[in-house]
Structures are given as structure tokens and as C-alpha cells.
Structure 1
Amino acid sequence: MSEVVKILLSLLGSYLVGAIPFGLIVVWVARRQDVRRIGSGRTGGTNVMRAAGWLAGAITAILDVLKGVATGWIARALVPENPWVLVGSALLAVVGHNYSVFLIEKREQGGIRFKGGAGGATAFGGAIAIWPPIWMYILPIGVLVYLFMGYASVTTISVAVVTTVVFTVRALQGEATWIYVLYGVAVLGVVLYALRPNLERLRRGTERAVGLRAYLQKRHGQRGGSSMNSGNQNAMP
């Protein structure tokens, strides 16, 4: 098999692996519902959690991470010691996750569109495929952002940002090639493009909260409601 054919197989195989809609499958198995018709319509872990609970969301997130990790196995098996193919394969897994060939839909105004997720979990897996220890940086920062900043979209963006920063620092220290930095930058672009509606809601202050922010908002709303009820009761003759 020629080198060119191996490269094409790695890139195509990685896209197809990334395109597997695990979120759609998990929600269908758990609830017999189409996750594309629920919430944001995405197939990632956050929307799956809204549709079928935290366990389904966690299972989906893990499977989506593994899609990215698998690209490392594919690329290294077919084209060993080629950082361009490794980066390209990891990136195409994220593209496959966001724009899955298995989730083609017709647009009402004509044409077709490819549905999927926002790419955070698969981007995380792709970063692990390139340099496994990076999980020690991405995971704790992502958890902190999720819990305390309180937006799933910002958490997704943080994965790409941390990936870019870590690979840049390693390249500056001479510990890795600058090609890996391109993965972080490209993934950041893909994620930001997918999250355009979320970024607009963040600008407007209408993005749905998660983590501690959601908890505090809920408590504040309950207290506000209790105060209003008390006020109404006191006003009654």
C-alpha cells in the first residue's frame, strides 16, 4: 500500500470515527427519543444530559473523547512518526463529530446540512492522541470552568484554548513540534464556529447556565419566589 493511500485512509477513517453519533444512539437506547429534536439539537454530552440524564451525558462524553483518542491509533498504525497526519486525523475527527455524514438532513429552504455536536469532548480526545499527558491540564481546568464559570459552551472553548496554550509552551521549550500548535488553533476555530449561537446568547446574557451558576440562579429564583409569595400573603386581607 502506498504512503498516499495510507494517509488518505487515516484521514478518512478518522473523520468517519468522529462522525459516529454516540449521543443520538445513547438517547435512543435510553429514552427512544431523537436528541436532534431536543434542546439545542446537538448530539454532544451536554444536550444528551438534558435529554436523558447525567449518566447518559457522561457515557456520551466518554465515548466522544474516545473517538478523538482513536485517531492516534489510526494515524500511528498507518503512518507512523508523521505529525502532520496525526494532527490532520485528530482534527478531522472533530469535524466529523460536528458535521457527521451519518446525520445529514434536508434544509427547509433547500439543500442539506450535517448535524452533530460542538466538538469539545472529541477535541479533548484528539489532544490526548497527540500527547497523552495533556489530560492533566485540560480536565481540571475544564471542570473548574464548568462548575464556576457555569457555561457548557465556555467549557468547550476552554478545551481548545488550553490545548493551544500547552502545545505552544511545549514547542517554545523545544519539547514538541509547532505542528501540534496548529491542532489547537484549528480546533479552536472549529469549536468557535460551531458555537456561534451560544456566543450570541452569551453576549445577550441569555445562555443557559450549568454548574454552580445554575444552582445559585435556581436558589435565587426560589428565594425570590418565596419572597413574592410572602408579600402576596401579607397583602391579602
Structure 2
Amino acid sequence: MSWLLAALGGYLLGAVPFGLVITRALGLGDLRRIGSGNIGATNVLRTGHKGAALATLVLDSGKGAAAVLLALWLAPAAASVAGVGAFLGHLFPVWLGFRGGKGVATYLGILLALAPLAGLATCATWLLTALIFRISSLAALVAATLAPVWMLILGSPREAAAALVMAALIWWTHRANLARLRAGTEPRIGNAGKRS
């Protein structure tokens, strides 16, 4: 029962579409009709409002972390389940017809709460890859792939399975990005482009 409640509570937290809420509150329009149509921070940045993008990044990460931390307080054994629930809520929010974001920021927040050292290593992996290649989607894919490995190396083997499931879903949400990466047409960080 605690696992079911953790999954449901995590899902409801994860399903809050902060990017959409923030852009509407600031009068920036419907985020789903801007750029890639994605509800994440990268697309919020395309509105030209850096503060809104930063707030979206922090809140999308924070909701994943909050789901895990609440579970650690109330039902520690269900923390990974709560994290996966929050991740699925972000990807498939009931309020938006189950069409949400790609989950990278929420994933990082979950990892930081579940296994702080592995989470920091994953964030560092994203940053290093982004600095070298200047492609956000590639950085996300590399970081997501290495996250379960970092968890195993840094002493969090139980959480590695949840990280692996979420990493696989991140690859699934980046299908269009993968096609552009293969074609060499994926936009670089700092360049104009509608896709993410």
C-alpha cells in the first residue's frame, strides 16, 4: 500500500506543468505553441525570458526531489517508486492529456534526492558533455545513460534499477533528437532553433 501511495503521490507532484504555469502567469503565451511545444525549461527559454526558464528548471527538478524526500520521510522503502512516479507524472501529466516534457530536469532532481553523490556525478556528466559538444540533447542522453553506472560505482545499487528505467524513457522521449543527431542537424546550445 505504501508503494502505491508513493507512486500516486509522486505522479501528482510530477504532473504539475510548471513551465506552462509560469509562462501563462507571465503573459508569455501558451508554451505548447512556442518552439518545440515542449513544456520544459529549454523551450521556456525560447520565449526570451531567462528568469522563467530558470524557474522552470528549478521547479521541475524540485518536484522530483520533493517526491523522493517525502517518501524518504514517510515510507523510505518506497522512495525510488515515488521518484519514478514523479518522472512519469512529468512525462505523462493527466492535466495535459498525458503529453508532457522530456523529463531531464525532473530526472536530475530525483537522482540528487535518491543518491546525492551519483546525482552530482550525473549533473557533472551533463555539464561536461554540454561544454564539449554544445548540444543539450546529447548531454542529456549521455548523462541519463551514465546515471545508473554512477549509482553502482558510488554505492547506490538499489536505486540504479529505477535510474535505468527512467534513463530508457529519456531515450524514448528524445526520439526526434536522436534522428537529428544522426543527421547532423541538431541545434547547438546558443544557436537559434525551434527544436529540443
Q: TM-score, normalised by structure 2?
A: 0.90
Q: Which residue of 2 aligns with 1:151?
A: 135
Q: Percent identity?
A: 33
- 1:25 and 2:21 are equivalent in the alignment: yes
Please give the alpha-carbon distance, in whole angstroms, between the structure 2 residues aligned to 1:31 and 1:199.
32
Q: Deviations over 1:37-71 (max 9, x none)?
A: 11111111101111242221111111111011112
Q: Which residue of 2 aligns with 1:91?
A: 84
- 1:56 and 2:56 are equivalent in the alignment: no
Q: Which residue of 2 aligns with 1:13?
A: 9
Q: Deviations over 1:17-49 (max 9, x none)?
A: 011000001111223401011111111110111
- Where do 1:70-85 residues align within 5 Å? 70-80=66-76, 82=77, 85=78
Letter in 2 for 1:46: T
Please give the alpha-carbon distance, in whole angstroms, between the structure 2 residues aligned to 1:147 and 1:27.
28
1:10·1:78 contact (CA, 8 Å) conserved in 2?
no
Higher relative contact order (CA closer than 8 Å, sequence separation 6+): 2
Could you list the runs of 5+ residues in structure 1 that have no partner in the other structure? 105-113, 216-237
| Alpha-carbon offset, residue 128 of structure 1 | 1.2
Indicate the SS of the match to 1:31.
coil
2:104·2:170 contact (CA, 8 Å) conserved in 1?
yes
Q: Deviations over 1:162-216 (max 9, x none)?
A: 321211213xxxx33x3211122111111011111111111111112114xx49x
Computing the radius of gyration from Cα coordinates, the structure with the larger value is: 1
Indicate the SS of the match to 1:51.
coil
Could you list the runs of 5+ residues in structure 2 that have no partner in the other structure? none
Q: Which residue of 2 aligns with 1:46?
A: 42
Please give the alpha-carbon distance, in whole angstroms, between the structure 1 residues aligned to 2:63 and 2:142.
19
Letter in 2 for 1:92: G
Please give the alpha-carbon distance, in whole angstroms, between the structure 1 residues aligned to 2:58 and 2:34.
21
Task: Please tell me the root mean square deviation across aligned C-alpha atoms, in Å.
Answer: 1.7
Q: TM-score, normalised by structure 1?
A: 0.75
2:135·2:189 contact (CA, 8 Å) conserved in 1?
yes
Indicate the SS of the match to 2:37.
coil
Q: Which residue of 1 aligns with 2:166?
A: 187
Q: Which residue of 2 aligns with 1:221?
A: none
| Alpha-carbon offset, residue 134 of structure 1 | 3.0
Please give the alpha-carbon distance, in whole angstroms, between the structure 1 residues aligned to 2:95 and 2:136.
25
Pair 1:7–1:78, CA change in 2 (3 A)? farther
1:197 to 172, 176, 189: 176
Q: Deviations over 1:101-149 (max 9, x none)?
A: 1111xxxxxxxxx211111110001101211233431223222222331
Please give the alpha-carbon distance, in whole angstroms, between the structure 2 residues aligned to 1:70 and 1:189.
22
List structure 1 segments (4+ residues) > 6 angstroms apart after TM superposition: none
Please give the alpha-carbon distance, in whole angstroms, between the structure 2 residues aligned to 1:185 and 1:136.
17
1:123·1:159 contact (CA, 8 Å) conserved in 2?
no
1:68 to 61, 64, 68: 64
